[in-house]
Amino acid sequence: MATVNPTKHLTNLDEWRKLGEANIFPPESRLELINGEILDMAPIGFNHSGHLNRINKLFARLIPDDVIPSVQNPLQLGDFSEPEPDFMLLKSNADFYSSRHPIAGDVLLLIEVADSSLAFDQNQKLRLYALHGIPEYWLLNLNDSCLEVYRNPNGEVYAEKTTLRAAGDTITLSQLNEINIRIADIL
């Protein structure tokens, strides 16, 4: 008798959306589709939430009117991934992305805030974002009190990584070079 090994069934975006429409998962579920796998995400803690609020308020004051801020909303990356990054700055869209989810080409800046999810965000999410050409990925690393800035995607990696941690450090956005951020304002 031949040996048959079980294979993993990867879910694509069509199946993923049908599962959501059918209310298969409880409404309070924190799920993301990453590379065809449905992943349970950790609950958002106070520190994570507070830093995300700080980021949102800061960028609301700084971004031009034609840039759209997006907080914990889906991002379609190919046919098998739909993460919900903590924060994104998106290119202008007449209907504010109400007829479709943004795709990688719409993203100017993507930020993940990480404490319990740090290893996942530094590895799997970094590879996913680089592979799809997200031009600038910031990882606010709450465990080490630093901002990891990744730029210039090249395959599954970023060619440039900068770690900022000093209160006096600043960074200028690569896609919106009129915006300069003091690290102390988000850490």
Number of residues written out for the chain: 187
pLDDT for position 24: 81
The whole-angstrom separation of Cα 44 and Cα 66 is 29
Which range has the worst mean pLDDT, 22-36, 43-57, 107-121?
Answer: 22-36
Pairing type for strands 136-141 and 107-114 reads: parallel
Could you read off the pLDDT of 127-146 as tens digits, one per residue? 999 999 999 999 999 999 99
Q: How far is CA 167 from the centre of its chain?
A: 24
Q: Between 7 and 105, whose confidence is greater?
A: 105
Mean model confidence pLDDT for the chain: 91
Task: Kindly report the pTM of this predicted structure.
Answer: 0.90
**Percent of the chain at pLDDT above 90?**
71
Calpha distance 147→187 (Å, rounded): 8
8 A C-beta contact, residue 141 and residue 147: yes
pLDDT of residue 1 exceeding 70, the answer is no
pLDDT at 152 over 70: yes
- Please tell me the predicted confidence (pLDDT) of residue 33: 83
The pLDDT value recorded for residue 157 is: 96
pLDDT digits 0-9 by tens, 45-82: 899 999 999 999 999 999 999 999 999 999 999 999 99
Structural domains in the chain, CATH included, are: 45-185 (3.90.1570.10)
pLDDT at 124: 94
- Binned at pLDDT 50, 70 and 90, residue 113 comes out as very high
Residue ranges with strand state E in the chain: 31-34, 37-40, 68-71, 87-90, 107-114, 136-141, 146-154, 157-164, 170-172, 180-182
User: CA nearest 179: which of 143, 136, 117?
Assistant: 136
Q: Is the pLDDT of residue 7 over 80?
A: no
Q: Residue 27 pLDDT > 90, yes or no?
A: no
